[in-house]
Amino acid sequence: MAVTDHVDLATFMAGVSKRNPGQTEFIQAVQEVAQDIYEFMEDKVQYHEAQILRRIAEPDRVISFRVCWEDDNHNIRVQRGWRVQCNNAIGPYKGGIRFHPSVTESVLKFLAFEQTFKNSLTGLPMGGGKGGANFNPKGKSDAEVMRFCQSFMTELYRHIGPDTDVPAGDIGVGGREIGYMFGQYKRIVNRWEGVLTGKGLEYGGSAMRPEATGYGAVYFLRNMLMHKGMDVEGHTAVISGSGNVATHAAEKITQLGGKVLTLSDSGGYIHDPDGLTQEKIDWIKHLKNVKRGRISEYADEFKGATFHEGRPWGVKADLALPCATQNELNADEAKTLVANGVKAVSEGANMPTTLEGVHAFQDAKVMYAPGKAANAGGVAVSGLEMSQNSERVSWNHERLGDMLTDLMQGIHGKCVEYGEKDGHVDYVKGANIAGFKKVADAMLAFGVV
Ligand code: NDP
């Protein structure tokens, strides 16, 4: 009899907690997946015998390293960098790099774990990984960011490669940081190869990559609405964040005839009752990417808009898109959104809703798309960037736009296939099971490795 036949979910989770002391984000992510997978695995003895869930919840490896760099005042600074290579059963490790003071091993393990299922859902051959450092690019000069990125890559380069592990951007890592890291990689190995995605268009980047995550989250949202005979047009939306994902989600909602009322950053949120326009969104992109300013400045620039401390979830709207960071929407805020009549929630960020918040949406039967499904458009287009680099070709914007639309529709379809019951779709369950099954079956094929 297989060992796990005797282990119930609570015992399994107690083991995960014991082996990962203090890693609350990672334990939370495993718990969320395990509760759906346990039910699915009930009559599938082959997964139990091979201890598949236990193996997926143990990263292939966690690499941690020192990153020394010199600031503009000639002080020597020391940061910690990581790369978590979670699972490469279905393709090379793939996942972003995050530079933020809140980065810890637990955060990166949770992100790499989630990434494994997300990448599987895209249908493309990509495993799951994530990396980063507790470095804050905010307030640093370009030269300081460059020195940090070069030092980070001087260690990371030996662990990655186009068929091994292909990192991308994430919070605090945009086009500037990817450029510095790619330049250093190329200089060390003396090869031009597609080792990072999110590159500039001049040097092997893909059209649509900057837009892909935010647009994809809206496409997913639209698929959910259409499944219930509705559309984005005429609906109001609250969005958090004002970075890459949030601004592109706002752009697509606006293009589809919706009205975006809020955006935010770690200082607070702006509320614009007139709704954002493309001109206003372009102004925010410039503020954030070029001037590196704060969202509060929006209220000084645009009449009728106000700035508030805290998070935007108290603003009444039909649609909600958390697009900033993890655990930024708790149970009380979820209940407020429900009380205000929210119809659908699509997560642009990774795990932005706490477990209790997710339950509040599910109890209220609100259409709720978890990040691993809704924000998979970014990594999907990254996968297409890898294909273009391997083939030494560049596809145009229209072709990639169509591919993104199809990919998001495909992911929605998989969630419905595994998550629909009695006319209601549990998108969390659908995404977890569909993402898990492909990885698990590949692992079974390899035997015990
Ligand atoms: P950016 O760095 O471009 O933007 C992040 C935004 O979130 C900023 O507005 C930032 O505000 C805000 N933010 C960050 N931390 C906090 C916090 N603790 N509290 C409140 N606001 C915060 O990142 P992205 O837009 O790329 O990423 C956003 C989310 O989407 C992340 O969860 C990321 O993992 C996820 N994601 C991103 C993908 C991509 O392609 N970029 C792909 C899939 C998921 P401030 O400037 O004040 O820090």
Q: What is the mean pLDDT of residues 334-355?
A: 97
Q: What is the mean pLDDT of residues 434-448?
A: 97
Percent of the chain topping pLDDT 90: 98
**How many Å lie between the centroid of ligand 1 and the Cα of residue 169?**
10
Query: What HEC string does the chain produce?
Result: CCHHHHCCHHHHHHHHHHHCCCCHHHHHHHHHHHHHHHHHHCCCHHHHHCCHHHHHCCCCEEEEEEEEEECCCCCEEEEEEEEEEEECCCCCEEEEEEECCCCCHHHHHHHHHHHHHHHHHHCCCCCEEEEEECCCCCCCCHHHHHHHHHHHHHHHHHHCECCCEEEECECCECHHHHHHHHHHHHHHHCCCCCCCCCCCHHHCCCCCHHHHHHHHHHHHHHHHHHHCCCCCCCCEEEEECCCHHHHHHHHHHHHCCCEEEEEEECCEEEECCCCCCHHHHHHHHHHHHCCCCCCCHHHHHCCCCEEECCCHHHCCCCEEEECCCCCCECHHHHHHHHHCCCCEEECCCCCCECHHHHHHHHHCCCEEECHHHHCHHHHHHHHHHHHHHHHCCCCCHHHHHHHHHHHHHHHHHHHHHHHEECCEECHHHHHHHHHHHHHHHHHHHHCCC
In this structure, are residues 111 and 95 in contact, taking their beta carbons and an 8 Å threshold? yes
- What residues contact residue 14 under an 8 Å CB cut-off, 6+ apart? none
Residue written as tokens 């393709």?
91
- Most ligand 1 atoms within 8 A of CB, residue of 145, 170, 281 to mutate: 170
Residue 313 CA: distances (Å) to CA of 218, 235, 327: 18, 16, 13
The pLDDT of residue 181 = 98
Residue nearest to atom 22 of ligand 1 (CA): 266
Pocket of ligand 1 (CB under 6 A): 169-172, 213, 241-246, 265-267, 323-325, 328, 348-350, 375, 378
The pLDDT of residue 7 = 85
- What residues contact residue 392 under an 8 Å CB cut-off, 6+ apart? none
Residue nearest to atom 20 of ligand 1 (CA): 266
User: How far is it, in rounded angstroms, from Cα 181 to Cα 157?
Assistant: 9
**How many Å lie between the centroid of ligand 1 and the Cα of residue 106?**
17
**How many Å lie between the centroid of ligand 1 and the Cα of residue 165?**
22
* Ligand 1 nearest atom to the CA of residue 371, by list position: 44
Query: What are the residue numbers of the active site?
Result: 130
Give the pLDDT band (50/70/90) at residue 411: very high
In this structure, are residues 55 and 30 in contact, taking their beta carbons and an 8 Å threshold? no
Q: What is the mean pLDDT of residues 291-307?
A: 97
Q: Give the residue among 62, 242, 75 at the shortest CA–CA distance from 148.
A: 75
Inter-axis angle of helices 397-419 and 209-227, nearest 10: 40
Domains of the chain: 9-56 (no CATH), 61-193 (3.40.50.10860), 210-369 (3.40.50.720)
Residue nearest to atom 13 of ligand 1 (CA): 324
Bridge partners for 367 per DSSP = 344
381-399 pLDDT, tens digit per residue, is 999 999 999 999 999 999 9
Does residue 296 carry a pLDDT above 90?
yes
147-157 pLDDT, tens digit per residue, is 999 999 999 99
**How many Å lie between the centroid of ligand 1 and the Cα of residue 424?**
30
Residue written as tokens 């709704």?
275
Mean pLDDT, the chain, rounded, equals 96
Residue written as tokens 């083991």?
15
Q: Give the residue among 153, 53, 173, 71 at the shortest CA–CA distance from 113.
A: 53
Residue nearest to atom 5 of ligand 1 (CA): 243
User: How far is it, in rounded angstroms, from Cα 381 to Cα 387?
Assistant: 10
Give the pLDDT band (50/70/90) at residue 1: very low
25-67 pLDDT, tens digit per residue, is 999 999 999 999 999 998 999 998 999 999 999 999 999 999 9
The pLDDT of residue 6 = 58
Q: What is the mean pLDDT of residues 77-85?
A: 98
- Most ligand 1 atoms within 8 A of CB, residue of 209, 265, 313 to mutate: 265
User: What global pTM score does this model have?
Assistant: 0.94
Residue written as tokens 């699915």?
40
- Most ligand 1 atoms within 8 A of CB, residue of 245, 288, 323, 353 to mutate: 245
Q: What is the mean pLDDT of residues 275-297?
A: 97
In this structure, are residues 336 and 310 in contact, taking their beta carbons and an 8 Å threshold? no
The pLDDT of residue 2 = 46
* Residue 74 CB coordination number (10 Å): 6
Residue nearest to atom 7 of ligand 1 (CA): 324
In this structure, are residues 344 and 217 in contact, taking their beta carbons and an 8 Å threshold? no
Residue nearest to atom 41 of ligand 1 (CA): 170
